[in-house]
Amino acid sequence: MLADFPQIGHPHEALPGREVRLLPYGHYRIAYLIKPDKNIDILGVFHGAIEIERYIK
């Protein structure tokens, strides 16, 4: 689904100048980066209770 609709996630402000988004999935959040060539990189899958700011820098 991300390959077809990369804008589906919520924008995340952790990295200015980089398009990092969060996609909720059950009790988890999938953090991903939309690259300039429109490909995506999965940065991690985090439990919803974890503060992901300390992992995404």
Number of domain units in the chain = 1
Per residue in 8-51, pLDDT (tens digit) is 999 987 667 788 999 999 999 999 999 988 899 999 999 999 88
Write out the residue range of the structural domain in which residue 37 sits.
Answer: 6-54
| Residue 1 included in any domain | no
Query: pLDDT value at position 57?
Result: 67
The tally of CA atoms less than 13 A away on the side-chain side of residue 9 is 24
Contacts of 14-21 spanning 24+ positions with Cβ under 8 A:
14/52, 14/53, 14/56, 14/57, 15/56, 15/57, 20/56
The gap between the terminal CA atoms of the chain, to the nearest Å, is 25
Q: DSSP letter at 16?
A: T
| Residue 36 included in any domain | yes
Query: pLDDT value at position 15?
Result: 65
| pLDDT classification of 55: cutoffs 50, 70, 90 | confident
| pLDDT classification of 2: cutoffs 50, 70, 90 | confident
